[in-house]
Amino acid sequence: MSSVVATRPRRSSTTDARRAPAAHHLTAKAGAAGATLVAGGLGLGAVVTREGAAATGELGLDTALSHDRLSPLVSLAHDIDVVIGPIVGPLLVAAVAALLFVRHRRAAVIFALSTAGLWLATSSLKLVFTRARPPADQVHALVHETARDSFPSGHTALAAAIIAGAFFAARSLGRPTRLVLAIGIPFALVVAASRLYLGAHFLGDVAASLVFVTGFAFVGAALAPLVARRFGH
């Protein structure tokens, strides 16, 4: 009696050779897209700081949002202000990373480093664009923010960075990333809207944070294989 042993077909060197240029092309496209987004965010910062919030219409939008605020939305915005703030937010990220580390160490490190890196890279641009906060009396601001650090929004940047970190962590585990984006994108938009609703930021501030984090994430995704190969040797 003869038996047939099923063997897994070997991947040919020709197939690997074909995949390598394709992967390099995708990496190059990601890097170019990221650089374009970051450049666009910098251009947006230059325009809004030069023209002023009144000229861009951002001040009018904040003023309009300050009329007839709804109590449930105000409470939600205040909760977001605390949870995604510069104190509780990083602690929350650290807690999630610690829980993830118990079962998936590599994914936990990716999540923590990606989130922290994207948030810090975006928030550091506050030092470049020393934009004043919305005038508290005119927009009836519900939070006390007086420093000239309105652009870009740190809260929005942290929210977007958390989603990007979760995306990279899920991808490292081979898990579907669509659910991360389906939940994450609305979450980041809600955080951005809450900053306007409280009178803490202008539209350009929150929009720039989303652009910067996305751009830096693309650049990071493009550089990651190069760094991996470098340290792999």
pLDDT in tens, 86-126: 999 999 999 999 999 999 999 999 999 999 999 999 999 99
Instruction: From 21, 40, 44, 20, select the one nearest 32 (Cα to Cα).
Output: 40
What is the rounded distance in angstroms from the CA atom of residue 174 to the CA atom of residue 176? 7
Higher pLDDT, 225 or 15: 225
Give, in order, the Cα–Cα distances in Å from 150 to each of 49, 117, 119, 189: 10, 20, 15, 17
Q: pTM score, two decimals?
A: 0.87
What average pLDDT does this structure show over 173-194? Answer: 96
Say what the pLDDT of residue 139 is.
Answer: 97
pLDDT at 229: 64
pLDDT at 164 (0 to 100) = 97
Structure tokens belonging to residue 68: 């007839």
pLDDT at 223: 87
- Residues 6+ away with beta carbon under 8 Å from 101: 108, 109
